[in-house]
């Protein structure tokens, strides 16, 4: 990675007119995407992620601010004058052309020599695992193969950045999961900056070097997949990324390096002490379902958080059983219990259970 970002937004805002009123789609965006990075824009529909990508491609002009590509101000520059390519969910392949003709189309338009076209197209088809399919037409290929053709056609032009707008949305679940791994491999091999737009948290966590979680035109959190998942900075991020259990409480006292909340008599939530956590203060805690242990009998441990509750739902998923537990603290908790050895020993609906987890898995939001 170089010091000059592949893509940079400085003070970018984008407004649309709706019924005579200005509606903000992207608000005050400052963002730098590094060279060679797999970067994802993640968020629900209408959060501004596709608008952000379209401003990189030149399909939308910002209402304010500046867009840079490799240090060059491209604000207002036409899309065909920007060194980026885009891949869409619909593939947009030419149905009457073969794989070879589809992939070489852009190079031929640029008047690249035939020997160079042959070399670059052959190398790219090898990278996307389509060698030997040069003479096929799109209709003769599966959805995953067509997506690879679209990728090869975009990458063979050697753009500074590749923009991908939910490109796997039309694939079935198993093929989509396979393509996630393939996309990351391809990006690693070609070394080009990928900017990926998705509303699928699993996709973003699987492939990305960094993720920007967007909501209502703003970036709620920017970080690595592990940071985003393990340490959500806002309630929105905690709820949007995967499944998170949220519980509010007041700090009763500090016990060494642990803050103790007592949401119900005889129960406790332990939280690592950090700046801003003090007795009498209120906290909102996020706990991931896979961090929690479910017990059918009251455990004797004292060094963990402890809540009791009643099982309201049991869903068997093969590798795990997912429980919903109405806790005495007033919050419904979801627990993912791995079926490694106790698949026959499941708690039942209506049964009273106990939940424990280590202090480091209680993550305070906004502190």
Backbone angles phi, psi at 347, to 5 degrees: -70, 155
The residue out of 238, 272, 297 marking a domain boundary is 238
The residue out of 238, 256, 287 marking a domain boundary is 238
**pLDDT tens readout for residues 330-339:** 899 999 988 8
Distance CA 126, CA 109 (A): 22
Same domain, 200 and 253: no
Same domain, 81 and 34: yes
Same domain, 254 and 234: no
- Percent of the chain scored above 90 by pLDDT? 65
Same domain, 262 and 230: no
What is the residue whose two structure tokens read 């424990």?
356
The residue out of 204, 238, 272 marking a domain boundary is 238
Instruction: Compute the mean pLDDT over every residue in the chain, rounded to the nearest whole number.
Output: 91
Give domain status of residue 1, yes or no. Answer: no
Give domain status of residue 324, yes or no. Answer: yes
345: domain CATH number is: 2.40.50.100
Strands 72-73 and 245-255: unpaired
pLDDT at residue 327, rounded to an integer:
94
Same domain, 282 and 233: no
Domain containing 18: what range? Answer: 7-238
pLDDT at residue 342, rounded to an integer:
58
Torsion of Cα atoms, 28 then 71 then 161 then 191, to 10°: -120
Give domain status of residue 53, yes or no. Answer: yes
Same domain, 204 and 229: yes
Same domain, 185 and 248: no
Task: Outline where DSSP puts E strands in 98-244.
Answer: 161-165, 193-198, 210-215, 218-223
Question: Average pLDDT, stretch 308-324?
Answer: 92
Number of domains observed in the structure of the chain: 2
Q: How confident is the model at residue 174 (pLDDT cuts 50, 70, 90)?
A: confident
Same domain, 77 and 180: yes
How far the first Cα of the chain sits from its last, in Å, is 32
Give domain status of residue 202, yes or no. Answer: yes
Give domain status of residue 105, yes or no. Answer: yes
Whether 9 and 30 have beta carbons less than 8 Å apart is answered as yes
Same domain, 347 and 277: yes
pLDDT at residue 9, rounded to an integer:
97
Distance CA 352, CA 325 (A): 9
Same domain, 71 and 193: yes
Give domain status of residue 205, yes or no. Answer: yes
pLDDT at residue 103, rounded to an integer:
93
Whether 13 and 26 have beta carbons less than 8 Å apart is answered as yes
Same domain, 205 and 262: no
Q: How confident is the model at residue 317 (pLDDT cuts 50, 70, 90)?
A: confident
108: domain CATH number is: 3.40.50.300
Q: In 3D, which of 33, 24, 32 has the Cα closest to residue 64?
A: 24
Backbone angles phi, psi at 12, to 5 degrees: -85, 135
**pLDDT tens readout for residues 198-208:** 999 989 999 99
186: three-class secondary structure by DSSP: helix
pLDDT at residue 242, rounded to an integer:
86
Give domain status of residue 211, yes or no. Answer: yes
**Stated pTM of the model:** 0.88
What is the residue whose two structure tokens read 């939910």?
166
Same domain, 231 and 151: yes
Where does residue 198 fall: left (phi above 0), alpha (psi -120 to 50 degrees), or beta otherwise?
beta
Point out which residues pair with 247 in neighbouring strands.
285
């Amino acid at each position: 990675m170089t010091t000059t970002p592949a893509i940079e937004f400085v003070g970018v805002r984008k407004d649309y007119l709706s019924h005579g009123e200005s509606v903000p789609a992207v608000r005050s965006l400052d963002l730098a995407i590094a060279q060679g990075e797999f970067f994802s824009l993640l968020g629900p529909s209408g959060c501004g992620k596709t608008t952000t990508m379209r401003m990189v491609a030149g399909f939308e002009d910002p209402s304010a601010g500046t867009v840079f590509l490799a240090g060059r101000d491209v604000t207002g520059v036409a899309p065909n004058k920007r060194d980026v390519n885009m891949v869409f969910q619909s593939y947009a392949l030419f149905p009457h052309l073969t794989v070879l003709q589809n992939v070489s189309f852009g190079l031929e338009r640029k008047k690249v020599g035939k020997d160079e076209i042959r070399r670059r197209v052959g190398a790219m088809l090898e990278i996307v695992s389509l060698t030997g399919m040069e003479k096929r037409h799109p209709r003769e290929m599966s959805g995953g193969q067509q997506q690879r053709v679209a990728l090869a056609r975009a990458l063979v032009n050697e753009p500074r950045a590749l923009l991908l707008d939910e490109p796997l949305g039309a694939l079935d679940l198993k093929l989509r999961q396979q393509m996630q791994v393939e996309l990351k491999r391809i990006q690693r091999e070609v070394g080009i900056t990928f900017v990926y737009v998705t509303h699928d948290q699993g996709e973003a966590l699987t492939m990305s070097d960094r993720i920007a979680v967007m909501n209502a035109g703003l970036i709620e959190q920017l970080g690595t997949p592990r940071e985003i998942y393990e340490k959500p900075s806002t309630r929105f991020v905690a709820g949007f990324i995967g499944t998170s259990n949220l519980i509010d409480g007041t700090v009763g006292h500090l016990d060494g390096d642990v803050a103790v909340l007592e949401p119900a008599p005889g129960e406790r939530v332990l939280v690592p002490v950090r700046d801003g956590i003090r007795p009498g203060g209120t906290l909102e805690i996020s706990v991931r379902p896979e961090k929690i242990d479910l017990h059918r009998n009251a455990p004797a441990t004292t060094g963990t958080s402890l809540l009791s509750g009643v099982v309201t739902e049991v869903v068997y998923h093969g590798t795990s059983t997912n429980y919903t537990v109405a806790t005495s603290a007033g919050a419904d908790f979801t627990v993912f219990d791995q079926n490694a050895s106790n698949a026959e020993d499941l708690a039942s609906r209506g049964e009273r259970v106990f939940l424990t987890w280590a202090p480091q898995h209680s993550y305070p939001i906004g502190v």
